[in-house]
A and B are shown apart, each in its own frame.
Chain A
Amino acid sequence: MTADPLQLDLLTSRYNYYAVMLLLGIGLYTLIESPNLVKKVIGMNIFQTGIFLFFVTLAYRTGGNPPIVTKGGGPYASPLPHVLILTAIVVGVALTAVALALIVRIYSEYGTLDEDTLEELYYD
């Protein structure tokens, strides 16, 4: 929690959070900007991966051991965020499966994956 006196230190020691922000940004941008439905789903996955990385980073402790009680002593890395993310990954896979199934159906009905073309067909 205590802030480092040197900003440089903050930059080099917190690189995980930059990766998180980058992934969230790339994901959200692809989701909004790409006209291709499959790429939108990929963007959604990248966005979620950013969140997963955020949680896993929260669990990290400098010098912490893996949270297996039999080997060695504390301090341990927190196992809780890992468990949460395991659940969230399962949820993400299920969502991707449903999204792709819907896309297959859209493609077989409209013959396009392009959002703009689809919009024209949809509002006809």
Chain B
Amino acid sequence: MIEHLPVLLVVLPIIGASVPLVASLYTDRIGWSIAVLTMLAYAALAGLLAQQVWPDTVVSYAVGGFALPYGIELVVDGLSLAVVLLISAITLGVLAYARHAGPHENTFYSQLLLLVTGLTGMTVTGDVFNLYVFLEITGLAAYGLVASGREASAAVAALKYLIIGTVGASLYLLGVGYALAVTGTLNMADMSGKLAAVGYDSTLVLTAFGLMVGGLSVKVALFPLHTWQPDAYANSPDSVSAFISALVSTVSAYALARLLFSVFTVDFLTAVPAARWALIVVASVSIVAGSALAVSQASVQRMLAYSSVSQFGLVIAGFAVATPIAVVGATVHLVGHAVMKGGLFAATGIIERETGTTTIGGYAGMGGRTPLAAGAFTVLALGMVGVPPAIGFVGKWYILVGAVEAELWPVVAVLLASTLLTLAYFARLGERLYFAEPTIREEGAIADGGEGSDGGERAEGSRSSSEPRSEGGDGDDGENAVSTGMLAVLVVAAVLAVALTAAVPALEQLLTETLPPLIQ
């Protein structure tokens, strides 16, 4: 069994996803338990896999026993292991949050496990077409999850996401077609060698690169391909926005890195400076434009969504600089951003339940009313800005050092400016939270269309019920209450945002042991 670990990681959540659907015939609220059991088993498998990979093994698995360049290969190295562990940790956190926050339907948990399947598949696959299939599984599950919100606007956001996401994935598929035409193989390692043999300046190779990277950039949500993201994050239920913001773009960015280093390799980037500069320019524009758009938002969730556009620009810039230290930095920031952004969305969910507000104006003076959520929000926001010793600092610092080493001065300038820009939108929110007079009644009236007094009452009501789960899950009142589980998840995220810094040397070792074959 131990040699089948990589494929079990993909198969387990698929099986888990089908169980709640069958169980719906008998009972409607068993999905959560099934999802938790599946994810605990998943975490155990991921742990076993980590033991195998640590510190410098690359586990390769031929699906169905087909001889390797022809069959589908699954590969787990240091980079994919880090992402697998991240997926398992974030999903367990989201499940703990969703226990009380909902949605409670069985189908929701089926979709959630299906999303885990797609993400894991994207992470462990060593085959470019297989990556497309898992990209679409991830997409389908994510569209369904976004649409699981009660409001009709969730369906509109999901359809927008679906159409833009499908075009992105289709462009990627077209790129795979070009790569297949020029190399005749789909296996990443095999393709990498054959691309080098064909010559990196071949028009076909360049077209394949452009289409594949362009397609994945849609999924990562780099500016100007990010337009699906704010709607999708702002209109989905809070459990979903925490989950999707933490994982979907993250794993897509991982896939982009995998494509850069395992398929096209750094040699390609050096041989074709235009390709590298195109990536760097898109990433830099993404950093600046994402931050500028984030500053101008009134809704906190939309602000966080635009902040993701900016932070992923940073990650992709790190990968495009492509020195070992910059790649380590980009990976650290990838993982750190996932934890912090997931936590920030969880915090907005809790603050919304406690005070009824989702706008920046409405956050005024809320620091005192929801001390724990606001405190965690502030810690996570400072981590995102890059205040040491938070993980956001380490990631940005490494990327910066990498850019200085590579003497890419424009990138250095953008990176330094990005920290200030991040500070610009988070500082505004921090100022509102702690140093402004509460305006909740007026703001509530604007946001909810005349329900201002209701919002105020709700705040009072949920404050008294914030002791351990007073009136459990039934009724409308329970829906808006905040459970200890949700607060615990938030606190753990905030602690992790700082504590993960201690894990950076381990991650660095893991990457430098397995990355040299990638970054020659």
User: Footprint of B on A, CB under 8 Å?
Assistant: 24, 28, 31, 37, 40-41, 44, 47-48, 51, 54-55, 58, 80-81, 84, 87-88, 91, 94-95, 98-99, 102-103, 105-106, 109-110, 118, 122
**How far, in whole Å, are A118 and B163 apart by their CA atoms in the complex?**
16
A98-B143, A102-B147 known; A118-B156 Cβ under 8 A: yes
Q: At the interface with chain A, which of B170-178, B269-277, B392-400?
A: B170-178
**How far, in whole Å, are A74 and B140 apart by their CA atoms in the complex?**
40
Name the B residues within 8 Å of A28 (CB-CB): 167
Let me know if B166 and A95 touch, CB within 8 A. yes
Q: Kindly identify which residue among B140, B158, B174 contacts A94, using a CB–CB cutoff of 8 Å.
A: B140
Q: Kindly identify which residue among A37, A54, A91, A109 contacts B174, using a CB–CB cutoff of 8 Å.
A: A54
Interface size of B as a range: 20 to 34
Instruction: Judge if B18 is at the interface, Cβ distance under 8 Å.
Output: no
Q: Kindly identify which residue among B129, B158, B174, B181 contacts A102, using a CB–CB cutoff of 8 Å.
A: B158
CB distance from B234 to the nearest CB of A (A): 12
A102-B155, A109-B152, A118-B156 known; A44-B166 Cβ under 8 A: yes
Let me know if B170 and A98 touch, CB within 8 A. no
Let me know if B155 and A51 touch, CB within 8 A. no
Let me know if A51 and B167 touch, CB within 8 A. no
CB distance from B376 to the nearest CB of A (A): 31
Let me know if A31 and B156 touch, CB within 8 A. no
Name the B residues within 8 Å of A41 (CB-CB): 163
Let me know if B155 and A106 touch, CB within 8 A. yes
Q: A58-B177, A88-B132 are in contact. List 4 more A-B contacts (CB 8 A).
A: A28-B167, A31-B167, A40-B163, A105-B147
Instruction: Judge if B419 is at the interface, Cβ distance under 8 Å.
Output: no
From B146, which residue of chain A is reached at the shortest CB distance? A102
Instruction: Judge if B360 is at the interface, Cβ distance under 8 Å.
Output: no
Let me know if A44 and B152 touch, CB within 8 A. no
Let me know if A98 and B167 touch, CB within 8 A. no
Q: Kindly identify which residue among B133, B144, B156 contacts A87, using a CB–CB cutoff of 8 Å.
A: B133
Let me know if B159 and A102 touch, CB within 8 A. yes
Let me know if A99 and B181 touch, CB within 8 A. no
Let me know if B177 and A51 touch, CB within 8 A. yes
**How far, in whole Å, are A85 and B129 apart by their CA atoms in the complex?**
10
